[in-house]
């Protein structure tokens, strides 16, 4: 069955969306900003707030770590200094874990390397995110899968064969997997999103929860993703879209995140049940505008009903017109006035004998 749990919260085809507010490094290295982002994510209705964890000296080559990194988005003279400035350690993570607990929101993080997986396990977060860039990193996928934690895996920039390889790496070890359609374009436009891939994933991986990690502007695509089966929705989150940094400009601010969670709830309620029934709210209109079978004219007791005796008229609070064959050829047990409603108890249970004379 396509189902998983994060912190006791069930995620399946029949549930609401699990919305992840991806903070990444939009906290700009400030614990106070991170705290406010967590508070605003919870107030906006997100299920989880997410950071990113890197062991920078493990993750990058010395050349990349030491390369000059200047400009509007830089927090250091080199790329390594920039990344270290943005990196939270155990104290910050433990503090935010306690804050999240008090806010009633899950705290997740992306692990970009094996030391970061160990770090997140030490903090005991309920799920680990794997970024699109690591979909082909099968050693990391296997290492993270062995933790037993729920894995949320994005698939931006991947081929279907690479997605299959990743799933085949994880599932034999750990069946707690959410697979997210994603496009590695920042921001992504409508022609980039390919939400139909969600249905491809649902068919290819019938036991895996499918989701959408969106780098698009706005909320429309997330609601469309939900309608085609995405049950984990991840969107980048910031306090201010105009701040310097690579992610702020395509991130949702608190009002937009609140609109997303509300829109997804409306989408879920609008989709409703797959069972087609007449609801209690429809019943008055159906009665008023529908039709029932009634007598065209006064009919005496013993009369055998013919097609000329019956008409369909509103309100629809009697035998529906599709039951006409249950009326024709039956004899009336008692008189029926014009516009009187036919009912099974007014009719003999078997058709009148062939050749019998008709009264009236």
Q: What are phi and psi of 196, to 5 degrees?
A: -65, -20
For 208-218, give one letter per residue: b (16+ CB within 10 A) or e. bbbbbbbbbbb
C-alpha 312/C-alpha 323 separation (Å) is 11
Residue 128: strand, helix, or coil:
strand
Computed over every residue of the chain, the mean pLDDT equals 94
- Note the pLDDT tens digit of each residue in 216-246: 999 999 999 999 999 999 999 999 888 877 7
- Note the pLDDT tens digit of each residue in 148-175: 999 999 999 999 999 999 999 999 999 9
Q: What is the DSSP letter of 247?
A: S
- Note the pLDDT tens digit of each residue in 76-87: 999 999 999 999
Q: Could you tell me how many residues make up the chain?
A: 360
Pairing mode of beta strands 48-53, 18-24: parallel
Q: For the whole model, what pTM was predicted?
A: 0.88
Provide the pLDDT for residue 360: 44
Architecture of domain 3-271: Alpha-Beta Barrel (3.20)
**Domain coordinates in residue numbering, the chain:** 3-271, 283-351
- 3-state helix/strand/coil string of 64-120: HHHCECCCCCCCCCEHHHHHHHHCCCHHHHHHHHHHHHHHCCEEEEEECCHHHHHHH
3-271 and 283-351 agree in CATH topology: no
Report how far apart, in Å, the C-alpha atoms of 269 and of each of 12, 221, 264, 266, 273 are. Answer: 15, 17, 9, 5, 9
Q: Taking Cα atoms as reference points, which of 304, 295, 310, 317 lies closest to residue 348?
A: 304
Domain covering 283-351, topology = Type Iii Antifreeze Protein Isoform Hplc 12 (3.90.1210)
| Beta carbons within 8 Å of 63's beta carbon, 6+ residues apart | none
Provide the pLDDT for residue 194: 96
- Note the pLDDT tens digit of each residue in 278-292: 999 999 999 999 999
């Amino acid at each position: 069955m396509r189902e998983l749990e994060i912190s006791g919260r069930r995620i399946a085809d029949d549930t609401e969306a699990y919305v992840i507010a991806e903070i990444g490094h939009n906290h700009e290295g400030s614990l106070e900003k991170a705290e406010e982002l967590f508070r605003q994510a919870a107030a906006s209705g997100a299920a989880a707030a997410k950071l990113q964890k890197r062991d920078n000296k493990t993750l990058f080559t010395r050349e990349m770590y030491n390369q000059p990194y200047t400009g509007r988005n830089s927090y250091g003279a080199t790329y390594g200094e920039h990344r270290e400035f943005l990196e939270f350690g155990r104290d910050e993570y433990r503090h935010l874990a306690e804050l999240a607990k008090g806010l009633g929101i899950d705290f997740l993080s992306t692990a970009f390397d094996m030391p970061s997986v160990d770090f997140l396990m030490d903090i005991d977060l309920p799920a680990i995110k794997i970024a699109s860039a690591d979909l082909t990193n099968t050693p990391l996928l296997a290492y993270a899968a062995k933790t037993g934690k729920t894995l949320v895996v994005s698939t931006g920039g991947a081929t279907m064969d690479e997605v299959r390889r990743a799933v085949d790496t994880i599932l034999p070890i750990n069946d707690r997997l959410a697979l997210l359609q994603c496009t590695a374009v920042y921001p992504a436009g409508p022609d980039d999103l390919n939400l139909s891939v969600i249905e491809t994933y649902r068919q290819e991986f019938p036991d895996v929860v499918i989701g959408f990690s969106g780098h698009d502007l706005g909320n429309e695509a997330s609601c469309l993703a939900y309608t085609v089966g995405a049950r984990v929705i991840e969107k980048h989150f910031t306090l201010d879209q105009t701040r310097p940094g690579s992610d702020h400009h395509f991130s949702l601010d608190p009002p937009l995140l609140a609109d997303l969670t509300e829109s997804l709830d409306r989408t879920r309620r609008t989709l409703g049940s797959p069972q087609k029934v007449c609801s209690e709210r429809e019943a008055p209109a159906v009665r008023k505008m529908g039709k029932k079978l009634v007598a065209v004219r006064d009919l005496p007791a013993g009369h055998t009903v013919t097609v000329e005796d019956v008409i369909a008229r509103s309100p629809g609070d009697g035998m529906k017109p599709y039951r006409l064959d249950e009326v024709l050829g039956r004899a009336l047990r008692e008189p029926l006035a014009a516009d009187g409603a036919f009912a099974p108890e007014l009719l003999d249970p078997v058709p009148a004998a062939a050749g019998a004379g008709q009264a009236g």
